[in-house]
């Protein structure tokens, strides 16, 4: 039965009330309903905090690793110079730099990430996949209390 606050909106003759889709489909067109539909009943339980945190951690490292490779390629191609001490502000026209000790730590961190997740789980991705990974990370962080689009790694 509908809730008493809305009962007046429903005709007793023409209105039917269901709490799940398989029951409604069975009433309208029984051939549409399978045993599997009745068993599943389309209920979803929210994921637990542990599962959300594990997924967020993987996505964080996937995004970080991809950004690391952007830096690594820049160093290999000479667009980014490894220096003993970075200076700010940079003068216009000077190449980007990364401080040597930071660079060494980044290489070690990349190795740890590769061992933990396996290279096959770290890309490379096409633009669509990359967008999905960033979107998932943003959504999970939002669920955990961050603002939308919080993609810091």
pLDDT at 110 over 60: yes
pLDDT in tens, 125-140: 999 999 999 999 999 9
Is there a contact between 135 and 150 (Cβ–Cβ < 8 Å)?
no
Quote the CA–CA distance of 51 and 143 in Å, as a whole number: 12
Q: Based on the domain organization, do 30 and 72 belong to the same domain?
A: no
Cα angle 57, 117, 122 (rounded to 5 degrees) comes to 85
Residue 139: inside a domain? yes
Q: Based on the domain organization, do 71 and 124 belong to the same domain?
A: yes
Q: Based on the domain organization, do 88 and 13 belong to the same domain?
A: no
Quote the CA–CA distance of 51 and 59 in Å, as a whole number: 12
User: How many domains are there within the chain?
Assistant: 2
pLDDT at 62 over 60: yes
For the whole model, what pTM was predicted? 0.68
Residue 2: inside a domain? no
In percent, the amount of the chain with pLDDT more than 90 equals 56
58, 68, 99, 119, 132 from 122: Cα distances, Å: 9, 11, 25, 5, 14
State the residue for tokens 């026209």. Answer: 93
Q: pLDDT-derived band of residue 76, with 50, 70 and 90 as boundaries?
A: very high
User: To the nearest 5 percent, what fractions of the chain are helix, strand and coil?
Assistant: 55, 5, 40
Q: Based on the domain organization, do 66 and 98 belong to the same domain?
A: yes
Quote the CA–CA distance of 135 and 144 in Å, as a whole number: 14
Quote the CA–CA distance of 113 and 122 in Å, as a whole number: 9
Domain housing 18: 7-40
Q: Based on the domain organization, do 19 and 94 belong to the same domain?
A: no
pLDDT in tens, 40-59: 555 667 889 999 999 999 99
- Intra-chain end-to-end CA distance of the chain, in Å: 51
According to the model, what pLDDT value does residue 49 have? 94
């Amino acid at each position: 039965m509908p809730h008493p606050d809305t009962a007046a909106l429903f005709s007793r003759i023409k209105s039917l009330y269901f709490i799940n889709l398989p029951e409604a489909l069975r009433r309208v067109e029984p051939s549409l309903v399978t045993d599997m539909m009745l068993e599943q009943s389309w209920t979803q339980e929210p994921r637990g905090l542990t599962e959300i945190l594990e997924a967020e951690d993987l996505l964080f490292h996937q995004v970080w690793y991809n950004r690391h490779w952007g830096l690594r390629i820049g160093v290999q191609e000479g667009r980014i110079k490894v220096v003993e001490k970075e200076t700010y502000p940079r003068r216009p026209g000077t190449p980007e730099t990364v401080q040597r000790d930071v660079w060494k730590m980044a290489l070690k961190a990349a190795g740890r990430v590769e061992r933990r997740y396996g290279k096959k789980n770290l890309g490379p991705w096409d633009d669509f996949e990359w967008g999905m990974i960033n979107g998932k990370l943003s959504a999970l962080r939002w669920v955990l209390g961050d603002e939308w689009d919080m993609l810091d790694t």
